[in-house]
A and B are shown apart, each in its own frame.
Chain A
């Protein structure tokens, strides 16, 4: 009974809206008061994908999100390991400090960085935007990676070392495969958060870095909900693409690709 209640309400509240948006992106504009028509159309997606401005914005958003993701992993994986597997003075204070940015307005950081970015020539550039997207993402990645390392027994790594593997080899063949669930969560979170930034991108990008949200926002005034729905669904597809990309990169890095071909796995 309880199970039934949960699945029905989660289905209604979370799954149906997503399906509704997908259906809407393939149906003509529904006029108010007229019966809903289901003459399937590709017009929404055509308009969305054939508009070169939108296509470029999609590529730039994905590119920025991936850069942000790799910077996140670069900072988050070692930090997670240090916070989980070692003891040092001031560790708990540091744990508090790394999550503190989540409790502060990201906009304050963005306006504070703005002038510096102009001086460094990073304002109005994709790199500047990627850097400001670190503000709301890195704390989550560090948290996720720390709990990933909490579940990874340090003895496993010790064993690899005893068998003569170097740190990098241990990382590639033991840590990376075992951390994949955490890395996946971190990538998902980072990409969706990066894709959600309108105001940070607008402040630092100054209207020159046209990401998907920057186009989406003015588009909201349009009444064409077929195109808007296609646009909306695209926001959920891109994180999936990014995760697949990271998954592939990790597989290659861990050397699993060649191994599975040889039938070793």
Chain B
């Protein structure tokens, strides 16, 4: 009993630590697979990986879609929270924002297809209204070479996520500092610089990192709304994983390991650069 009392946090953390162990183990295994060949250990797959023009194209394409989606999701979501936080906190507001969170990404992707496809509802409606001469006159928004459909899906799905993640930080902003600032003769600019930004910055960094990792490596939406070339990285990795050739499987492992390594390094770096105590974990209340 005494041991239990002094080691209580350790005991409580056992399941969570097992989970972390599983993550570490899975990444080590993926890495082992990426350097294993029938002839023994090799770095050859990594060397070959970047000679694949398909991969270079895919990385550029994925990066572009990810950056655009993340940037606008965070920017718009942040703007919405700044302007409307008090209404979003009302039960009705919270429920409205929750709605897209209830649907999986691919369902929302299907909805975009249903709505904005060339034979979709909007196109059909515009034709009936006489504003569109033919189906082909409707711009190609889905399964298009620029990933517009993918970006629209992500914006629609992630803006609510950004709102719900940022909301607690805004509701807990120390408003009394505002009075201090105005007494000292400061304006909105000082308020933003000295109170608001330092307060919400860790949350914004965290959301940005989560969304970047998620969008860059998600399979579902690009598989549905993308085209066959260029493909987003996860689609390529999935195809390689199920590829018939041995090297292709190893490419899939290698590619995923590189991405995991880069994203993990960026995340750890941002954690270290930011004051850990100000990190979101201690602040957000996640009250949806």
Contact = CB atoms under 8 A, between A and B. Distances in A.
Interface of A: 2-3, 5-7, 10-11, 13-15, 17-18, 20-21, 24, 30, 32-36, 74-76, 78-79, 81-83, 86, 88, 92, 94-113, 115-116, 131, 134-135, 138, 142-144, 146-148, 150-151, 181-182, 185, 188, 192, 195-196, 198-199, 203, 213, 216-217, 220, 225, 228-229, 232, 235-236, 239
Contact of B285 (A18, A74, A150, A217): A150
Given A150-B285, A182-B286, A7 B93 contact: yes
Contacts of A151: 285
B204 to A, nearest CB: 15
B198 interface: no
Interface stretch (B40-48, B65-73, B100-108, B186-194): B100-108
Interface stretch (B50-58, B175-183, B258-266): B258-266
Contacts of B252: 111
B123 interface: yes
A104 B124 contact: no
B30 A108 contact: yes
Contact of B29 (A82, A92, A103, A112): A112
B279 A96 contact: yes
Contact of A232 (B12, B110, B128): B110
Interface size class of B (residues with CB under 8 A): 35 or more
Interface in B49-97: 80, 83-84, 87-88, 92-93, 96-97
A116 B25 contact: yes
Interface in B124-164: 124-125, 127-128, 135, 156, 160
Interface of B: 8-16, 18-20, 22-23, 25-31, 33, 80, 83-84, 87-88, 92-93, 96-97, 99-107, 110-111, 113-115, 119, 121, 123-125, 127-128, 135, 156, 160, 168, 206, 209-210, 213-214, 216-220, 224, 234, 237-238, 241, 252-253, 256-257, 259-260, 263-264, 266-268, 271, 276-277, 279, 281-282, 284-288
A213 B104 contact: yes
A100 B12 contact: no
B284 A138 contact: no
